Structure formats: structure tokens, C-alpha cells
Structure 1
Amino acid sequence: MLFVVAMTFIDQTIVAIAAPDIINELGLSSSGMQWVVNAYLLALAAFFALGGRLADLFGPRRVALVGTLVFVGSSVMCGCVPRGSFAQEWLIVFRAVQGFGAALLFPAALAVVVSVFPVDRRGRALALFFGLSGALTALGPLLGGWLTGWTWRAIFWVNVPVAVIAVVLTLLARIPSVRRPERLDVPGALLIAVGMGLSVLGLQQANAWGWTSVWTWGCVLGGLLVLAVFCRYELRVTHPLIQMRVFRDRAFAVDNIVLFFAMMAFVPLFFFASVYAQVSLGASPNQAALYLLYFFAGFAIASQWGGRILDQRGARPAIKLGTGLGAVGFALWAHKLTDLSMHDQWPYAALAGAGIGFILAPSSTDAVNRALNASYGEVTGITQTIRNYAAAIGLAVYGTLLTHATTDHVADTLRERGLSSGTARDAGHSVAEAVTGHGDKRGPESDGPVATVVRDSMDAIRMDFAEANQLVFYGMALALALAFLCAHLHPGTRVTSESEASPPDESASPAPPTPQPSTRR
């Protein structure tokens, strides 16, 4: 199952390193690169609950195989994107299909892992699973930096050998097939996809439409309204896509709120830290990948430690420690960004990584343990949907914030060097789009007085971009500070056996029996 999910974790980070090369070769239009990154996350979030339900209905082994084939097929198509006017649409569509494939395979793989370990051993097992998965996430930037030196298309083709190994091992493994013959909630699947898509669309396009635009708030509020309709519908349908009753357990609800805020920082970090390293620090793709390894060093160590805390003392101490460390780590890291020294930042990057490491495995595992009266597929579908939706929101909000802040800082710099306010603003916007990967890379005209001033101001512009990134990293620190406050609402009770799991709500319809952990290995 680690091989099955390896591709999904690698693809969360590998594209960020290759972003400048993709933009230069394909000439993506305004906000194109951000959509390439976010199409994957949004599809993963929108269809994850569906993937969990399909794993229940057809068996996790079968769904994991289908998801792997969909994922690797779309990866090949992403690598084969043709140059020309259709390139952006091609890449965004197949990145979304990649996300759909990941939404099928990940909940199925996690359901297999959960089902073969009893509750008192599950914390350590899932800590190992998420810890190794985190290491695979760290492998993404390294692979991206190395493969981009050959061709950026190879970052998608690298999934092929991994998929071949995953399929062979899954076919050979003795995985019990447990199926639940129920109806699939198609209306629920459509509602959640539309609601998430609209809300993220509004947040992401706020940079182009403006925060005062009717379109921006129409999409955001319309998406949230659709999600509210989805929740109400799920409470009434006989076989819902998501069992909303599990949120009646306070610990389960707190676990998911903490995960939401943590993921607003975790996944977007890869994109913003990579672009900061290449623009402000002048790092190569390989050096940018090494820069991210400081974060993952802390993450990997804390993931294992957090699993032991979960098994011994429950989730509350781990997530309180993680959210506190993460908030402090991101704030200190943000403060050091303007030093423009990679070496000086590593302690704070590692501290931020440790904070996230203490959060993810304990809160995810505790959420699963709290909802044993629902199926594993349903519960993992809920937690991962929330995680990926938060990541998509974080990328959209921070991307808009970074572009606006960079525009303001660069415009101030150019005004100080003699350009008029209007000209400085236009040039600043073009530079912001170019360096953030959210624009069309045209920038100011290559010749003329404006271009000359911009070229002569590049050292100051690199500092401007670092200052703009400070706002993004402080935003990540704020997200973890909110998670820290929410962590105090966790009841702190510890689930050590299936008999201690929260009892089913008497007013809710009885849940089908949970599959028993298999003794076969």
C-alpha cells in the first residue's frame, strides 16, 4: 500500500520545483500554473469521499488497483502535453484526472492498512505509514530537481515504474475483500464536488477578479451554500456518501478541525518555499529541493514520536504540542526569510516540520479510532477530504496574498527609482505574476526604460519578494495558532480497544458491521 500511495505524495511536491520550466516552455496564461498545482488538490478533495465509499462497495483492493491505473494513465498524458494554445487546458484537465485517480487509490490503501491492525497497535502502524509517506513527499522535490535537469515532463513519467511495482505487489498480496452491497450516493458526490469547486474557484480567482468583485464572492458564498445543502442532504439519505453522525463525537470533530488548519500550511508550503528559494535565494531546482529537506527532517522525526505519544497518552498531548511548535516554527521562519540565507533558516524550518509531524498521524489515527461504528472507508474519506480541501483553500488564498503583496512591494521599489505611480504599479504586477508563477510570464517589455529600471532593481525585487513571502508564512503560523486553540477542545480520552470506541448514536440508522482486522499477512 505504500507503493500505491507513493505516487500521490510525490506528486504533491514534485510539480512545484518544475513550475518555472513548465511556464517557460508552455507559456501558460494568467493564473495557469496555480491551476495546474491546484487542479490536482481540488479533484483529490472533491472525490475523496467518493473513493472511500467505492472502496466500501467494491472492496479496497479492487478500487486501489483501478485508482492506480487511472493515476498512472493521466500522469503519462500530463507528460505528453503538446506545445501550443491548448497546452494549459490539457495539463489542467489531466492533472484533475490525476487527482481523481488519487482519490480512488488513497482511501482504499489506507483502509487496507487500518483493517489489518487492531486499535492498540494502529497508532504505531499508521505513524510508520504516514512517516514513510512523509519521506516520499520529501522525495518529490529531490526527484523534481534532478528530473527537471533532463526534462520537466519526466516528473510525470516517473510514476510509471512506481505504478508497475504497486500493481504487481497488490495482485500478489493476500488482501481480504470486504464489500458492502449498498447504493452509491451520486447526488451527494455531485453536491460536494460542485461546492468545493466553486468555493476554491472564487478564492483562487480573487487575484484576477478582485476581492470586491461579485464573481469572487458569488463563487465563494455559492460554494459554501452548496456544501451546506450537501450536509443537510446527507443527514436525510438512507446510504449517504458521508456519515455526518460521526461528527457528533467531539474528539472526532476536533481532530478534523485541527487537520483542516494544519493542511492549510502543510501542502501549500511546498509551492511557496520552492518559489521563494529559486527567486529570492537564487537557488537552482536541486538547491530548492535541499532547502525543503530541512522541513522534512523535523517532520519525519516528529511523526514517529507523535505515534508513540498517541499509543501511550492519546492524541491530545501530541496535537497540542504539534500545533504550538508549528505556530512558533512558522512565525520564526517567516521572520528569517528576509535574511536571504538558506543556512540561517534551517532550525526554524525543522521546527515547523516537527510541528506538522506531531499533528498529522496522531490526529488522523485518532479520528479513525473514534469512528469505528462507521466503516474505515467512510472515515478515511472524511478526514482526507477535509485535509485536501484545506490544502486547496490554502494554496488559493496564499497565492492571491503573495501576488498582491509582491505587486505592492515591487511598485514601491520602482517608484523610488523614478517611475510614475501608474507605470510602477503595472510593472510591479507583471513582475509579481512572473515570479509567482501565476501569470503569463510576459512581464514588462524586454526593451525600454521600464525594463531597464526593473533589471537594475533585481536585487531589491528579490528582497521585495521575500517580504511578500513573509506574509504567507505568517499566515501559515496563524493557521496553526488557530489549530492550537482548537486542540484545547479535544476531550483527551484515549481509545485503546474497539469496545472503548464511541458508541453509535441511538437515533441514527444502524451502521453495517465494521470489518474485523485480518490475521493474514
Structure 2
Amino acid sequence: MLFAVSMTFIDQTIVAIAAPDIIHELGLSASGMQWVVNAYLLTLAAFFAFGGRLADIVGHRRIMVVGTLVFVISSVLCGCVPSGSVAQTWLVVFRALQGFGAALMFPAALAVVVAVFPVERRGRALALFFGLSGGLTAVGPLLGGWLTDWTWRAIFWVNVPVALIALVLTAMAHIKDTPRRERLDVPGAVLVAVGMGLSVLGFQQASAWGWGSAATWGCVVGGVLVLVVFCLLELRVRDPLIRLEVFKDRAFAVDSAVLFFAMLAFVPVFFFASVYAQVSLSASPNQAALFLLYLFVGFALASQIGGRVLDKHGARPAMRLGTAIGALGFALWASKATDLSMHDQWPYVALAGAGIGLLLAPASTDAINRAIGASYGEVTGITQTIRNFAASVGLAVFGTVLTHVTTDRVTETLRSKGVPAGDARDAARGVAEAVSGQADTRGPTGGGPIARTVRDSMDAIRMDFAEANRWVFYGMALALAVAFVCSYFHPGTRVTGAPTSTKPDGPGEREVSAERSAEGRDPGRDASA
């Protein structure tokens, strides 16, 4: 399962590194390249809940295999994109299909891991699962830089051997499928895909369309309204796509809230830290990827500790400690962002990663343990949808902060060099879009006086960009602080026995029997009682 999901994490970041080469060879526009990146994340977020529910009904192993095949075939076709007018459409379509394959594969693979391990060993198992698979997001830029030196097409073809290993190991493992005799809620699947897709699209395009654009708010508000209709429908159908009563469990609701605010920082930080390293620290793409490894090392080591804390003491202590450490790490990192030194920053980068590593597996595992009637695919679909939605919101909000602060500070820098206010503002917008997007970060070309002034001021502009990133990292610290507050509402109960479904009294009716002991009490005595 780790081999399977590793592809989905790596592909979230690997394309960004190869973007300049893809644009140059295929002649794509900057907005077209943005769609190549976003198409994957958009379909991934839109179909996660559908993938989880389908895995419960058809069987976790079957859907994991189908998702892997869809993903790897799409990857091969992405790498085989022809040159010419069809290139952009080709890449966007098959990147979207990649995201759909990942949405089928990931919840099914995670459900297999959950079903295999008993609840008393599940914390450590999922800590390893989330620690390694989540950390692979940092490997994407490093692997992408190395493969792009050969050919950018290899960033897609590299998934083929990984997928083959995953499929062979799956066959060797003899995993048993336990399909459920329930109907798939097709109207619900359509509504949640449209709702998630529209809202995520609005957040993703906010930096391009602007927060004042009717298109941005039309997508966001329209998506939310569709999701409201979806919730009303789910309360009425016999076999809903998502059983909303799971949110009546206060612990599950708190787990979801902690995951949401933590993911506002976790996924976006890989993008922002990579660009910050390349622009402000003058690092190469490979050096920037190594900078991200500090985050990964802290994350991977702490995730193992978080799993052990969960198994012994429950999710609440791990979430409180992780959110506190994460908030402190991001705040200290922000305070050092303008020092422009990797050497001075790495302890705080690792501390920020450690905080998220401590909380991610406990919050996710505790939520999964509270699955209704052992519907692990369904609940993983819910939690992963929350995580992907939060990542989209974080990228949009922090991207807006980065662009606005960079524009304001570069405008002041250029005005201090004698550039008129209007021209300074226009040039600053161009610089902000270049250093925070897919454009070349080496500075503008051309022989005009303003362009020469910008090039001559690049040292000051790098500091301006570092100051803008400082506010981004402070925002991430604030998100972790809110997650810390949310963690205090967790009741502290623990799932000490695997949820088991009883024979339903009617279609769609399920019960959960699980022993839960309050934190601080003797689980053994509770079990014997």
C-alpha cells in the first residue's frame, strides 16, 4: 500500500520543478501550465469521498488495484504528450485522470492497512504509513530535478516501476475483500464532486482571477451551496455516500477540525518553502529540495512518536503536543526568514515538521477508528477530502498574502530608487507574479530603464520576498495555534476495541460496538468489566 500511495504524494509536487522545461518544449502558456498542476489536485479533492465509498461497496483491494492501473496508465500518457496544439489539452485531461485514479487508490489502500492491523497496533502502523507517504511530498522536487536533467517526461514514467511493485506485492499479500451489499449513492457522488470541484477551483484560481472577481466567488459560493444540497440529500437517502452522523461523535469532529487547520500549513509549506529557498536564499532547485528534507526529517521522526503516544494514551495528548510544537516551529522559522541563511533556519524548519508529524497520524487514526460499522473506506474518504480541501484553501490564502506583501514591498524598493509610483507598482506586480508563480525567478529581461533598475535591485527584492514569506510562515503558525485550541475540545476517549458491524435491522442501518475508555483509566480493567 505504501508503494501505491507514494505515487500520489510525489505527483503533488514533482511537476512544479519540471514546469519551465515543459513550457519551453511544448509551448504552453503560464496559465496552461497552472492548469496542468491544478487538474490533478482538483480531481483528487473532488472524488476522494466517492473513491472511499466505492471501495467499501466493491472491495478495498479491487478498487486499490483499479485506481493504481488508472493512475499509472494516465502517467504513461502524460509522458507521451505530443507537441503541437493538442499538447495542453492532452496534459490537462490525463493529469485530471491521474487525480481520479489517486482518489480511487488512496482511500482504498489506507482502508486495507486499517483493516489488517488490530486497533491496539494501528497507531504505530498508520504513523509509519502517514510518516513515509506524507514525507514523500518533499521527495517530489528532489526527484523531479534529477529526472528533468534527463527528460521531463521521466517524471511521469517513473510511476511505472513503482506501480508494478505495488501490484505484485498486493497479489502476494493475498488481501481479502469484504464488499458490502449496499447501493452506491450516485446523485450524492455527483453533488459532492461538483461541490468540491467548484469550491476548490475557486480557491485555486483566486490568485489568477483575483479575490474581487465574480468568477472566484461564484465558484466558491456555488460549490458551498452544492455541498449544502448534498448534505440535505444524504440525510434522506437509505445508503448515503457519507453518513453524516459520524460527525455527531465529538472526537471525530475535533479530529477533523485539527486536520483541517494543520493541513492549511502542511501541504502549502512545501511549495512556499521551495520558492522561498530558490528566490531569497538563491538556492538551485535541488538545493531547495534538500532544504525541504529538514522538514521531512522532523516530520518522519515525530510521526513515529505520535503513533506510540496514540497507542498508549490516545489521540488528545499527541494532538495538543503536535499543534503546540508546530505553531512554535513555524513562528520561530518566520522570525529567522529574513536572515537569509539555511544554516540558521534548519532547526526551526525541522521543528515545524515535527509538530505536524506528531499530530497527523493520531488525528487521522483516531478518526478512522471511529468509523461507523467498520466503514473504513468511507471515513478515510471524509478525512482525506478535508485534508485536500484545506490544502487548496491554504495555497490560495497564503498565495494571496505572499503576492500582496511582495508587491507592496517591491513597490517601496523601486520608488526609493527613483522609479515613479505607477511604474513601480506595475513592475512590482510583475516581479510578484514571477517569483510566486511558474515564471523565471532570475529577474526581468530587456533593456528598459525600469527593467534595469529591477535587475540592479534584485538583492533588495530577495529581502522583500523573504519578508513576504515571513508573513506566510506566521500565518501557518496561526493555523497550528487554532488547531491547538480545537484539540482541547477532544473528549479524550479512546477506541480500545475494533468497531464491529452487527447484522443490520434494515438496509443502511448499522451499529458500532467498541470499547472506549476515558484517558487516564486502566484499559484492561475497562475491558474486563
The TM tier, using the shorter chain, reads over 0.9
Q: Is contact 1:119–1:497 with CA below 8 Å preserved after alignment?
A: yes
Question: Shift of residue 283 of structure 1?
Answer: 0.9
Question: Shift of residue 250 of structure 1?
Answer: 0.3
CA offset digits 1:434-471 (Å, max 9, x no partner)? 22225699985622112111111111111111111122
Q: Is contact 1:430–1:443 with CA below 8 Å preserved after alignment?
A: no
Greater mean deviation of Cα atoms: 238-247 or 126-135: 126-135
Greater mean deviation of Cα atoms: 362-371 or 6-15: 6-15
What does 1:143-292 align with in structure 2 at a 5 Å threshold?
143-292=143-292
Higher relative contact order (CA 8 A, sep 6+): 1
Greater mean deviation of Cα atoms: 113-122 or 504-513: 504-513
Q: Is contact 1:373–1:504 with CA below 8 Å preserved after alignment?
A: no
AA aligned opposite 2:486: C
SS of the equivalent of 2:373 reads coil
Greater mean deviation of Cα atoms: 425-434 or 316-325: 425-434
Question: Shift of residue 507 of structure 1?
Answer: 12
Q: Matched residues in 1 for 2:443 and 2:236: separation?
A: 53
Residue of structure 1 in register with 2:309 after alignment:
309
Question: Shift of residue 264 of structure 1?
Answer: 1.2
AA aligned opposite 2:66: V
SS of the equivalent of 2:493 reads coil
Q: Matched residues in 1 for 2:97 and 2:265: separation?
A: 24
Paired-residue identity, %: 74
Greater mean deviation of Cα atoms: 139-148 or 103-112: 139-148
Relative to structure 1, the CA distance from residue 502 to residue 57 in structure 2 (aligned partners, 3 Å threshold; closer, same or farther) is closer
SS of the equivalent of 1:498 reads coil
Question: Shift of residue 81 of structure 1?
Answer: 3.3
Question: Shift of residue 178 of structure 1?
Answer: 1.1
Q: Matched residues in 1 for 2:129 and 2:208: separation?
A: 40
AA aligned opposite 1:197: G
AA aligned opposite 2:251: A
Q: Matched residues in 2 for 1:377 and 1:101: separation?
A: 15
Relative to structure 1, the CA distance from residue 320 to residue 60 in structure 2 (aligned partners, 3 Å threshold; closer, same or farther) is same
CA offset digits 1:93-121 (Å, max 9, x no partner)? 32221111111111111111111111111
What does 1:358-507 align with in structure 2 at a 5 Å threshold?
358-437=358-437, 446-498=446-498
Q: Structure 2 stretches of 5 or more lacking a match?
A: 514-529
Residue of structure 2 in register with 1:97 after alignment:
97
Q: Matched residues in 2 for 1:41 and 1:207: separation?
A: 16
Q: Structure 1 stretches of 5 or more lacking a match?
A: 515-521
Relative to structure 1, the CA distance from residue 504 to residue 196 in structure 2 (aligned partners, 3 Å threshold; closer, same or farther) is farther
| Aligned length, in residue pairs | 513
CA offset digits 1:158-209 (Å, max 9, x no partner)? 1111011111222222110111132211211121122122222223333333
SS of the equivalent of 1:399 reads helix
Question: Shift of residue 258 of structure 1?
Answer: 0.6
Residue of structure 2 in register with 1:518 after alignment:
none
SS of the equivalent of 2:431 reads helix
AA aligned opposite 1:227: L
Greater mean deviation of Cα atoms: 96-105 or 312-321: 96-105
Q: Matched residues in 1 for 2:97 and 2:476: separation?
A: 28
Relative to structure 1, the CA distance from residue 255 to residue 503 in structure 2 (aligned partners, 3 Å threshold; closer, same or farther) is farther
Relative to structure 1, the CA distance from residue 442 to residue 222 in structure 2 (aligned partners, 3 Å threshold; closer, same or farther) is farther
AA aligned opposite 1:212: G
Greater mean deviation of Cα atoms: 427-436 or 126-135: 126-135
Residue of structure 2 in register with 1:335 after alignment:
335
Question: Shift of residue 355 of structure 1?
Answer: 0.5
Q: Is contact 1:23–1:437 with CA below 8 Å preserved after alignment?
A: no
Q: Is contact 1:427–1:443 with CA below 8 Å preserved after alignment?
A: no
Q: Matched residues in 1 for 2:187 and 2:226: separation?
A: 12
AA aligned opposite 1:239: D
CA offset digits 1:258-297 (Å, max 9, x no partner)? 1111111111111111111111111111111110010111
Q: Matched residues in 1 for 2:158 and 2:52: separation?
A: 26
Relative to structure 1, the CA distance from residue 339 to residue 26 in structure 2 (aligned partners, 3 Å threshold; closer, same or farther) is farther
AA aligned opposite 2:510: A
Q: Matched residues in 2 for 1:179 and 1:208: separation?
A: 44
SS of the equivalent of 1:139 reads helix
Relative to structure 1, the CA distance from residue 24 to residue 264 in structure 2 (aligned partners, 3 Å threshold; closer, same or farther) is farther
Q: Matched residues in 1 for 2:503 and 2:339: separation?
A: 54
Residue of structure 2 in register with 1:110 after alignment:
110
Q: Matched residues in 2 for 1:231 and 1:4: separation?
A: 31
Residue of structure 1 in register with 2:521 after alignment:
none
Q: Is contact 2:502–2:510 with CA below 8 Å preserved after alignment?
A: no
Q: Is contact 1:45–1:385 with CA below 8 Å preserved after alignment?
A: yes
RMSD value, Cα = 2.6
Q: Matched residues in 1 for 2:443 and 2:241: separation?
A: 46
Q: Matched residues in 1 for 2:123 and 2:223: separation?
A: 35
Q: Matched residues in 2 for 1:137 and 1:253: separation?
A: 26
Q: Matched residues in 1 for 2:69 and 2:512: separation?
A: 30
Residue of structure 1 in register with 2:60 after alignment:
60
Q: Is contact 2:107–2:380 with CA below 8 Å preserved after alignment?
A: yes
1:131 equivalent to 2:155? Answer no
Residue of structure 2 in register with 1:121 after alignment:
121
Relative to structure 1, the CA distance from residue 410 to residue 506 in structure 2 (aligned partners, 3 Å threshold; closer, same or farther) is farther
